[in-house]
Chains A and B, each alone.
Chain A
């Protein structure tokens, strides 16, 4: 197969979703009245085509044996600095691309009926199309710079979809909470890109000898630690790792289909994806790899305990997702990278199906009970029996309080910063009043 065809397939997998999102956005801005079918058709056709081209690139690329690199050239350049747009189709990105496009398409098809006559039907599909485009950019990016581009889009669409039911205060509050976490953790990603430029002159992915896929360049030991910690910080925010994961159960306030694809399937796995791209840093620095495993392990335990005391299905699923992603991080930290990829795909498919079915849980239980002719038995105390009875109440309390992480973050981190900001504001008003001669009450600040 001609390499140009392969490059065209990879480029189409990114450009087509972007174009679809652009078309929908323009239609919305200029007031074109698209019917539900037309909107669904745009999303469906786009992602079916994307799935096809990404799958074609994956299969043909597998036989070709070389990564597919699409270089769009310099996007902009000043002096010696140039931002190049490159896409990379390799053993890691192409399976992710296929799987993400197929899931976005399926969720689009599911939502056509699920959100039928919902006031925000258009808005949901626009956000879904934009999210899908962002994901394609993340997974097919040829470097951390380009990856950041899609990463931000994913974060913004996630927050806007959590706040989809904007007439109620809670979804909006939770959307903002998720965005705050994303935004603060995104500093890690852009910081890593900047630091890699500073340390090795580029943030592009490169395939080392013997490595299964391309990853970031490895700088000297000190810089490797800095870049690694920044990338881990970015991953922790996006993948709801402890202690930053409190936004995840709250994020399920959004429509069920978006919860399924964001927090069951794709968005939550972008953190592990980033760490898989950072594999050279993990290999070069066992301390950093151990840290990744520890973060994942702590999150897995936290999610497992907290999930067991939740009383609504979406919170249970949220903590189950958190647990599994924690385990994926343990796998990545321990060097089991291929297993981690399989784990991601399996978990994403199962969890998104569970989340999609969650609104019908009671009905499913009823059917199950009718089929077996009695009540569904309660699960046995599998985990608890390993702990002494004296420890169980403490663990129970710990789980009920969600590990106190939220309270600690609220009272001792965010609260302190906000109090500090307010104190700064008061000081500034006094200073302005003194310097400008205007009483602070004269303004509406």
Chain B
């Protein structure tokens, strides 16, 4: 099945990327990039509403020998909008010095690839788009440092190979083996231990807008839901869940030992992706929905968090956490958004992150009671890390060191992201996705184990 609307949106963004990449002035280029992404998002929203109103959103449209459908399935309907918002944040807060027009063009291309990714549910196009996104980031890293590109590719190319083998195995009817290959590929892409090393490494030097456009969308989650879910043997699913949980704790712990803001934030991202990976291996609807929501919240909040740090870095230079070096009073909006988005990503009440983590934890406790407490510890440590970064970056200086607060475009993008997270935190029903389907098309059942064997008590949270 191919979903037409996200594909059209992706083509529009890809077209805009060439215009953006050819601008002479980085600021004009950035303004065009933001405008293009917002225009595509609005057009996509209008089109989605219209096709839903006309009742043709999910009507099969056979053409060219393929099955087409206009809109994404309900469980994934928010994904293109999340990706476009990630793109808006990545370009609106991208510092002009580190993000010349060519880099901004690459950011838009990465967003286009991500948006196109959700249009497909079969393995071959997903592998192709996956490879394209790796090439795009590698090209951008190559402009910074060829060693960095080499290191990145050493992690990503084996993952890509696993994805290709997995696609082949699935096509050959060996779903379980193919799913395990895909999981390895997904773990490599999403920086899950032991394949996590590329993310802090790249975050140390890459243009953060480019990194955010690659990491924020977490394409592995879509690949997991479209290809892998419930095809993984039970034991393997549990092993991968543990790997996700260990990554969450490891990322949170190592993050506290960092003395550079980029590295500390990168480890928070590693920890959050670990949480999502853990949740996806859940056999309950509740846990898996929590994972999907955590992924969407993380995409927006972590991108905003990362890009606010990028904007601050452009004003101040390298951001050290060794001693306090800023003033909250001079850049109050930047400080507020940094704190809010950081806490939203780790589940602060009143934000959608709280809902996501509540679902994740409540849905997992029956199947992984010990691991759930480790995840709570990881979340607590991440919260501590967020406040440590905030205090160090926005306190300790009495004098004005010439930093400007957020500009209009930056404020607009951050307001949009924060408003969504806040509205989602207050009225979560509109934002909680319906349970993701299995690979076979049927919804997952509470307490039903992967592959039809093993764990799960069947009792979930409070009874309705």
CB-defined interface of B228-261 with A at 8 Å, one 1/0 digit per residue? 0000000000000000000000100110111010
Closest A residue to B254 using CB positions: A425
Partner of A187, one of B262, B373, B395: B373
Partner of B463, one of A163, A201, A420: A201
**Residues of B with C-beta under 8 A to A438:** 147-148, 150-151, 201
CA distance A60 to B404 in the complex (A): 54
Of the four ranges (under 10, 10 to 19, 20 to 34, 35 or more), the interface on chain A belongs to: 35 or more
| Given known A444-B260, A444-B262, A445-B260, contact A191–B194 (CB-CB < 8 A) | no
Partner of B362, one of A180, A197, A422, A432: A197
Chain B residues with a Cβ closer than 8 Å to the other chain, count: 81
A437 within 8 Å of B (CB atoms): yes
| Given known A149-B349, A166-B395, contact A79–B147 (CB-CB < 8 A) | no
CA distance A444 to B151 in the complex (A): 15
A153 within 8 Å of B (CB atoms): yes
Pair A428/B197 contact, Cβ less than 8 Å: yes
CA distance A172 to B391 in the complex (A): 7
B39 within 8 Å of A (CB atoms): no
Pair A152/B200 contact, Cβ less than 8 Å: no
B18 within 8 Å of A (CB atoms): no
CA distance A190 to B360 in the complex (A): 13
Binds A, one of B76-84, B123-131, B169-177, B326-334: B326-334
Q: Is the interface of B mostly helix, strand, loop or mixed?
A: helix
**Residues of B with C-beta under 8 A to A80:** 286, 446, 459-461, 463-464
B369 within 8 Å of A (CB atoms): yes
Q: Is the interface of A mostly helix, strand, loop or mixed?
A: helix
- Min CB–CB distance B255 → chain A (angstroms): 8
Pair A444/B318 contact, Cβ less than 8 Å: yes
CA distance A29 to B336 in the complex (A): 8
CA distance A428 to B384 in the complex (A): 21
**Residues of A with C-beta under 8 A to B328:** 166
CA distance A167 to B266 in the complex (A): 27
**Residues of A with C-beta under 8 A to B257:** 418, 421-422, 424-425
Closest A residue to B194 using CB positions: A431
Pair A198/B462 contact, Cβ less than 8 Å: no
Pair B462/A442 contact, Cβ less than 8 Å: no
Binds B, one of A81-89, A90-98, A272-280, A325-333: A81-89
Pair B327/A179 contact, Cβ less than 8 Å: no
CA distance A227 to B333 in the complex (A): 40
**Residues of A with C-beta under 8 A to B204:** 442-445
Partner of A194, one of B194, B362, B381, B428: B362
A32 within 8 Å of B (CB atoms): no
Residues of A within 8 A of B (CB): 28-29, 74-84, 119-120, 145, 148-150, 152-153, 156, 159, 163, 166-167, 169, 172, 175-176, 179-180, 183-184, 186-187, 190-191, 194-195, 197-198, 201-204, 417-418, 420-422, 424-425, 428, 431-432, 435-439, 442-445
Task: Give 16 A-B pairs besides A152-B349, A442-B148, A442-B201 with Cβ atoms closer than 8 angstroms.
Answer: A29-B336, A29-B415, A76-B429, A78-B289, A80-B460, A80-B464, A82-B463, A159-B387, A166-B328, A169-B395, A187-B373, A420-B253, A421-B254, A436-B154, A436-B198, A437-B150
Which 3 A-B pairs have CB atoms at the shortest separation, nearest pair first?
A: A81-B461, A432-B197, A443-B204
**13 A–B contacts, CB within 8 A, in A order:** A78-B363, A79-B435, A79-B446, A81-B359, A81-B362, A149-B349, A159-B387, A187-B373, A194-B372, A418-B256, A437-B151, A442-B148, A443-B204
